[in-house]
Amino acid sequence: MTPQPHFDLSSFNTFGLTAHADWGLIFDSIERLRAVLADTRWSSLPRLVLGGGSNVLFTDDFAGLVLINRLQGIEINELSDGWQLQVAAGESWPGLVEETLRRGIPGLENMALIPGTVGAAPVQNIGAYGVELCQFCTHVDALEVKSGTLVRIPAAECGFGYRESHFKQTWRQTHIIVGVGLFLPKQWHAQVAYGPLRSLGDAPSALQIFDEVCRLRREKLPQPELLGNAGSFFKNPTVAVMVADKLAALYPAMPQFPQHEGGVKLAAGWLIDQAGLKGMTVGRAAVHQQQALVLVNLGGARAGDLVQLACEVRNRVLAQFDVDLEPEVRFIGKQGDTTLEEAMRCVI
Ligand code: FAD
Ligand code: EPU
């Protein structure tokens, strides 16, 4: 298979937006990926690697090569104190969570139903219900684009933070993730400190947590097949303690989460909700009624509708609370990664 021209991206982004790439290739072997990267017909074009497209917003057609990762394979090694997993980057993340639990291996249950691929999981260090990927990740295997060599990067060197890693920043264009290593210890503890899970009591099983997380997510988050979306549109902002104290005096009901590393995390969904923006629409884009942090495609939305809505939400929250929201979703323009501000200039 060689890259296909005028590649349709509509089924490779969960917003369900219409967009095309000049070229696109679905790859299921590292050799194939290497060969395409070394081929002068494509090597100098802008390049974008995608898994499930569940965290991207195409603001334009993409004038380059899209590489859709479908590398498959899960290896599980039982050790005396846990299980070491080696997972190919194109495997489904929610599929992996179910597979481990089916085999009696607990640990990933809080991160059930997060859409997308295992290879994208380290990019923003996915997390949910009080647990993050970095708690289990031992290493990431990546292809260095320039040299074509495979490198194994220990988790400690990946720059993991809240919805952050080096793969999202400095390594964005230089590394393609092909595999992820995870260690799931046999000494398992239920992680139920996150508000809505406390109702499970002190000693739920991993399967009970899995079921409850699935139930909560189905209740709050729209299914992309029914209502296009990319999960939380913005990150939860962290502010200085002094700022948080001032806000708490003005809004006593505001949820606040003090961070070990300093500062206080606020709930962006609460801020958007309190600004009265639930249900607000621009064209066919809307702020979701059940979860204000999620922007949805009501059907037939243009990228410009979502971009303008996102700007409006950000501006209104800034005006009311003096808190600036940073997008979590990756904006992809004609040449690759872009910003909300730049996207706004292009769509107007
Ligand atoms: P894509 O959207 O295809 O790509 C995302 C980014 O990663 C892009 O910049 C892409 O270039 C890069 N990338 C992808 N694969 C690779 C690779 N192999 N090598 C290098 N770079 C790569 N996220 C959470 O953290 N927690 C949640 O609870 C959560 N809930 C969600 C709920 C819904 C309904 C939706 C739609 C999304 C949710 N998300 C959540 C966001 C999303 O699921 C994650 O960001 C996920 O990891 C994206 O996977 P993907 O394969 O779809 O990545
Ligand atoms: N809230 C409101 N109104 C809303 C939405 C939320 O008042 O419309 C309040 C809730 O009542 C709660 C607080 O805001 O007090 C936090 O809400 P929730 O527990 O639903 O979590 P979130 O902050 O909105 C985060 C992640 C999700 C993750 C959930 C569960 C971010 C940006 N989002 O959402 O991740 O699934 O917690 O852990 O960190 C994603 O990243 O795409 C994503 C969906």
- Dump the DSSP string for 96-131: HHHHHHHTT--S-GGGTT--SBTTTTTTTT-EETTE
Active site residue 328: yes
Q: Sheet containing 20-27: which strands, arranged edge to edge?
A: 4-8, 20-27, 62-69, 47-50
The closest-lying atom of ligand 2 relative to the alpha carbon of residue 129 is 38
Ligand nearest to the CA of 236: 2
- Residue 282 is encoded by which pair of tokens? 């621009």
From the CB of 232, is ligand 2 less than 6 Å away? yes
Kindly give the distance from the C-alpha atom of residue 265 to the centroid of ligand 2, in angstroms, as a whole number.
12
Is there a contact between 263 and 241 (Cβ–Cβ < 8 Å)?
Answer: yes
Place of tokens 């800034």: 318
Q: Which residue type occupies 194?
A: Y
pLDDT for the residue numbered 348: 54
Q: What spatial distance separates the first Cα and last Cα of the chain, rounded to whole Å?
A: 38
**E strand or H helix at 320, and its extent?**
helix 303-321
Active site residue 163: yes
Going by the DSSP 8-state scheme, the letter that residue 168 receives in this structure is G
Contacts with 141 (C-beta within 8 Å, 6 or more apart), sequence order: 89, 150, 151, 152, 153, 177, 178, 179, 180, 181
- Residue 297 is encoded by which pair of tokens? 């495609």
From the CB of 7, is ligand 1 less than 6 Å away? no
- Residue 271 is encoded by which pair of tokens? 């801020």
Counts for the chain of helices (H) and strands (E), in that order: 7, 21
- Indicate the burial class of 265 (C-beta count within 10 angstroms; 0-12, 13-18, 19 or more): middle
Residue 244 three-state SS? helix
Q: What is the pTM of this model?
A: 0.98
Question: How far, in Å, CA of 128 to CA of 112, rounded?
Answer: 8
pLDDT for the residue numbered 58: 98
Question: How far, in Å, CA of 34 to CA of 24, rounded?
Answer: 15
Is there a contact between 26 and 68 (Cβ–Cβ < 8 Å)?
Answer: yes
User: pLDDT tens digits for the chain (348 residues)?
Assistant: 799 999 999 999 999 999 999 999 999 999 999 999 999 999 999 999 999 999 999 999 999 999 999 999 999 999 999 999 999 999 999 999 999 999 999 999 999 999 999 999 999 999 999 999 999 999 999 999 999 999 999 999 999 999 999 999 999 999 999 999 999 999 999 999 998 999 998 899 999 999 999 999 999 999 999 999 999 999 999 999 999 999 999 999 999 999 998 999 999 999 999 999 999 999 999 999 999 999 999 999 999 999 999 999 999 999 999 999 999 999 999 999 999 999 988 775
- Residue 287 is encoded by which pair of tokens? 């702020």
From the CB of 328, is ligand 2 less than 6 Å away? yes
- C-alpha angle 148/21/334, rounded to 5°? 95
Ligand nearest to the CA of 129: 2
Kindly give the distance from the C-alpha atom of residue 308 to the centroid of ligand 2, in angstroms, as a whole number.
22
Catalytic residue among 163, 165, 212, 314: 163
Question: How far, in Å, CA of 156 to CA of 258, rounded?
Answer: 24
Name which residue sits closest to atom 5 of ligand 2, judged by CA: 269
The closest-lying atom of ligand 2 relative to the alpha carbon of residue 196 is 19
From the CB of 125, is ligand 1 less than 6 Å away? no
Kindly give the distance from the C-alpha atom of residue 234 to the centroid of ligand 1, in angstroms, as a whole number.
13
